Structure 1
């Protein structure tokens, strides 16, 4: 097959995974093939056949499937979410021009009488699944005549090179393999083999009657019903992040309980009597704080002043002069610039609240000048009335209890509720008018520049593993990706009424054979120890190529068709990341010998650690996000004519990849 328009045999593309990443590639394939048809005039473009394959639900995938309960909620407001690569233009919904999630929900509310959500509300995941299905429907309807789209519900179990080129895909339930010229891996969240702690807990539960241990996964896929977890039993929950809230709701609202606001304005929980008692904990002892009340337009973009591509390049040049490597030390080269960005927004917002927009503009210019010149800002802060206001301390916010020891669970609960109330008050001020939440939102707004520092071995191995992954990412996740305020208010009500107990900082989870259950407690909260019959790990597993239990991944690893990305330092130190190794855009998969495979691509979560923050599940209206550009790059390359391929530099097996190319900082990514 030559791949030119005179061919009669179709170019066959298989997209494995039809969650947001797979649908995004499909949407751009539709846009580009429509352009091909238009450019062909009266001629006939080469035929294209696209197989869209998903093991769970074609058009929504596993995480967003449309049969899940509606208390599992997104953590991005609906106006900031779109799967179309262009905004509506007055015509029908179609690839390249379609509504945001918020606009689509508003239309459905008008036309079908469904619940209306405002632009700054948060949708249930199931509604996003229906939106994804709508997008797929419009893509299918708009495919040009020379393109055939074939959805296929099945699990791909093998992928091997075909004798005449391309690949043969083995699929459960299908005797004959599917043949494809080009394949896109967009397989989403993995299910990992249990680690040491998980194996210990599973082993204990297997030999201890009446106990159960649930490994980390999407809460919608966990057995959380009454037959699995009896009413009145004690449930330990490891982790207080986003998935904790999902588990919490499944065990309360999912058991028939209700939240109601009383005449005094206080939210209370009305139990059904079918709930278990929840005892939860984490290292910090702090449930992930609330997102600020959204005040930003969908196309809002924070203009970075300190953590810029130019600043990173300057730091790389300094590192090269020092040790011959452009790899950065995150703590010393990147974090000070990020902190300056956060402080600048924080102090400027404080001035705007106290003195108005004009005074804030004057202050911002003077403050930026002092920071750029490395001067002392104390006089400027004093003049602005901020002499006694400390800068934002990310570590203190993420670990608000420090090393304090609490006399009793009641003592800790009092402190915890105070922290939660202060956070909710800060969140209510908003993401533009609230000094704290607007400054923490910088962590989201500036992710693309952080990516430029981190991706493709941009950090020294020790810095990547020690500081970036070990210290920064937990703090960043806790402070930048929280749930809606309503979820935190619900948790507060459950804590107040004794349905949920947070054990405290440095929570210990362990088997307690003598008690016939799992011990949950904080060494810093006297009297906090509880015995649980069920222990749930409410942490989403981190992607790890070598622990992924998928038959497809196992086969690809065993056959040497994929390999984990390895960061190599200037002194020969190495770190195996666990992320699937891919080239720079358009993300060709790199095999075990370091060769790029030009007809095999990988996108999204499987490539986490090679690239950073790949779990983004949508684009933003009016903004050319990296989510959209990644999908378009793969679509363009997958449609290329057959012939020699100029491989990206990473594919040549060089010892350490070059720093990634710069990208615009005017990019917003939902989270």
Structure 2
């Protein structure tokens, strides 16, 4: 699709935000503003050319307004000189809202919207609707990690346990940009521009690394790439620059690999995490009541293996 006629990432995000804001303020009115009408607000907000003006007109307490900047980039306004207290305050507020549940808590309900709308994002990806440059700069580099950050997290009890460990002095958060060195056989950690250091015998990397099909320890994938049976997936920017999406290249309609010559490898199928970047959110676990994309893909592959073809014209609409 030509760059000019593609879907703007900024416009797409604005629509997703409007859906989340509608849920947030509707829940907020229900629990805190009995003099306001949820139906009236929803009607005005959904059709307004300027949704922010509708929010402003409701007279919400400034502390109750949904602060996207704080949600998406919480460190920007966090008091780093009193970091432990600032984090405890922020997490406590999240816990209190989460206790209200996804049908009542304003923030928890709003963030749940981002999970509910994943198929809309998948639809845009599968049908190649985004502008060429926005696929990389908006979707892969910004939106995907952002939505993971705000909509994926631990169960409520884990946050309560974290608060308890912080209160007991067992857990302490470091300032951003941690640097680690080894001194006299021990790990020494410090934050950038901070003189305080932490020393320990053990260092645990507890985060999940980014998905990169060409940089992994899977011997099957390594062998397929080395032999040319599989190839890294690439896309092109408007200036002609090629870039890797970190996925394995395949035919998205049949899930069969594409080799180094550009030919479909008949009968060799791949789906799930190694296709992340060509498909979207393949790492998400199936949720109740949702026609999960990974499960549909598995059905489609199974049907092809048994019958030689499939009738999944658009797996997002099945």
- Cα deviations across residues 467-496 of structure 1 (Å, max 9, x unaligned)? 433333332112101111100111111122
Residue 501 (structure 1) shift = 1.6
- Matched with 1:519 is 188
Which of 575, 583, 586 aligns to 2:243? It is 575
- Matched with 1:349 is 27
- Matched with 2:294 is 627
Structure 2 CA distance for aligned equivalents of residues 428 and 573 of structure 1? 48
Residues 458 and 528 (structure 1), Cα distance of their counterparts in 2 relative to 1, 3 Å cut: farther
- Mapping of residues 397-436 of structure 1, within 5 Å: 397-402=71-76, 406-407=80-81, 411-436=82-107
Structure 2 CA distance for aligned equivalents of residues 631 and 467 of structure 1? 28
Which of structures 1 and 2 has the larger relative contact order (alpha carbons within 8 angstroms, sep 6+)? 1
Aligned residues: CA RMSD: 3.0
- Cα deviations across residues 508-556 of structure 1 (Å, max 9, x unaligned)? 132244x5433322336x5542123222221212232211222221211
- Matched with 1:549 is 217
TM score, norm. by length of structure 2:
0.87
Residue 561 (structure 1) shift = 0.7
Structure 2 CA distance for aligned equivalents of residues 522 and 457 of structure 1? 41
Tell me if the contact between 1:395 and 1:475 (Cα under 8 Å) persists in the aligned partners: no
Residues 585 and 613 (structure 1), Cα distance of their counterparts in 2 relative to 1, 3 Å cut: same
- Cα deviations across residues 440-467 of structure 1 (Å, max 9, x unaligned)? 1111110111122334765455434434
- Matched with 2:149 is 478
- Mapping of residues 246-265 of structure 1, within 5 Å: none
Residues 359 and 578 (structure 1), Cα distance of their counterparts in 2 relative to 1, 3 Å cut: same
- Cα deviations across residues 121-150 of structure 1 (Å, max 9, x unaligned)? xxxxxxxxxxxxxxxxxxxxxxxxxxxxxx
Structure 1 CA distance for aligned equivalents of residues 63 and 80 of structure 2? 28
Residue 661 (structure 1) shift = 5.3
Which of 420, 439, 449 aligns to 2:110? It is 439
Tell me if the contact between 2:247 and 2:278 (Cα under 8 Å) persists in the aligned partners: yes
Which of 369, 375, 378 aligns to 2:47? It is 369
Residue 606 (structure 1) shift = 1.2
Which of 35, 55, 64 aligns to 1:381? It is 55
Tell me if the contact between 2:188 and 2:200 (Cα under 8 Å) persists in the aligned partners: yes
Structure 2 CA distance for aligned equivalents of residues 467 and 516 of structure 1? 43
- Matched with 1:466 is 137
Structure 2 CA distance for aligned equivalents of residues 516 and 403 of structure 1? 37
Structure 2 CA distance for aligned equivalents of residues 456 and 432 of structure 1? 32
Which of 108, 117, 121 aligns to 1:450? It is 121
SS of equivalent residue, structure 2 residue 246: strand
Which of 262, 265, 272 aligns to 1:594? It is 262
Tell me if the contact between 2:70 and 2:77 (Cα under 8 Å) persists in the aligned partners: no
- Matched with 2:316 is 663
Structure 2 CA distance for aligned equivalents of residues 520 and 444 of structure 1? 35
Tell me if the contact between 1:343 and 1:391 (Cα under 8 Å) persists in the aligned partners: no
Q: Tell me, which stretches of 5 or more residues in structure 2 are unaligned?
A: none
Residues 624 and 456 (structure 1), Cα distance of their counterparts in 2 relative to 1, 3 Å cut: closer
Residue 401 (structure 1) shift = 3.3
Tell me if the contact between 1:519 and 1:531 (Cα under 8 Å) persists in the aligned partners: yes
SS of equivalent residue, structure 1 residue 578: strand
- Matched with 1:3 is none
- Mapping of residues 236-315 of structure 1, within 5 Å: none
Residues 591 and 419 (structure 1), Cα distance of their counterparts in 2 relative to 1, 3 Å cut: same
Structure 2 CA distance for aligned equivalents of residues 382 and 564 of structure 1? 48
Residue 573 (structure 1) shift = 1.9
Residues 625 and 555 (structure 1), Cα distance of their counterparts in 2 relative to 1, 3 Å cut: closer
- Matched with 1:508 is 178
Residues 639 and 424 (structure 1), Cα distance of their counterparts in 2 relative to 1, 3 Å cut: same
Structure 2 CA distance for aligned equivalents of residues 570 and 499 of structure 1? 51
Whichever of the two has the greater Rg, that structure is 1
SS of equivalent residue, structure 1 residue 639: helix
Residue 618 (structure 1) shift = 3.0
Structure 2 CA distance for aligned equivalents of residues 449 and 356 of structure 1? 33
Residues 551 and 575 (structure 1), Cα distance of their counterparts in 2 relative to 1, 3 Å cut: same
Residue 562 (structure 1) shift = 0.7
Residues 443 and 600 (structure 1), Cα distance of their counterparts in 2 relative to 1, 3 Å cut: same
Matched, 1:338 2:50: no
Tell me if the contact between 1:349 and 1:435 (Cα under 8 Å) persists in the aligned partners: yes
SS of equivalent residue, structure 1 residue 534: coil
